[in-house]
Amino acid sequence: MNDGFYKHPLPSPPAIDFVSEEGKQLFREAIENGTMEGFYKLISTFQTQSELCFCGLASLSIVLNALAIDPGRRWKGPWRWFDESMLRIYTNIEKVKGGGIVFGDLASLAGSAGAKVEFFYASENTIEDFRKYVIKCSSSDHCHIIASYYRSALKQIGGGHYSPIGGYHCKKDKILILDVARYKYPPHWVPLQDLWEGMNCIDECVGLSRG
């Protein structure tokens, strides 16, 4: 019986599967270069989005937990921990479930949950600005980036998407995307240029680029 989909083939190029031999080599080299510092905390708190439109909320939950921000209220039993449901107090979860969340609203949500936030629309910056910021954050375990982009720029199936950036390979100019839709695509390396193009696409809901 063939009912539904079990993952999609990762378009390569431009993507390189994180667990492929080439992906592992990129990982080792990026570690040596010091641009995988944020990876460890992100992977320690990583989760799969629980709803089809929860990529933004899942990405934010991962980052909030990676930053060790205490939500200040119980999640389950005695435990305080962020997941998508814990963001209900800051936003209309049912609305997000039906159509996702726009970039500016996700940034506001992150601030409301206790994170120190800087957000940039791709159309208001340059690719070099983005590259410098990726290097800065990838060299620290106190700074994490959530990218908002269109999958089509990476030859992937789907529309607008959010995922955390797990690291950067300087010589190859490749970014590690920790895709929160793990049922669709695994973590993968992509050229920074391609991700930038996906971030520069206009979100028709607000008439602004992603970022």
Which residues belong to the active site? Answer: 55, 161, 179
Complete DSSP assignment for 169-203 = ETTTTEEEE--S-TTT---EEEEHHHHHHHHTSEE
CA distance 143 to 37: 9
Name the residue with tokens 């993507």: 15
E runs forming strands in the chain:
16-17, 145-150, 160-169, 174-177, 188-191, 202-203, 208-209
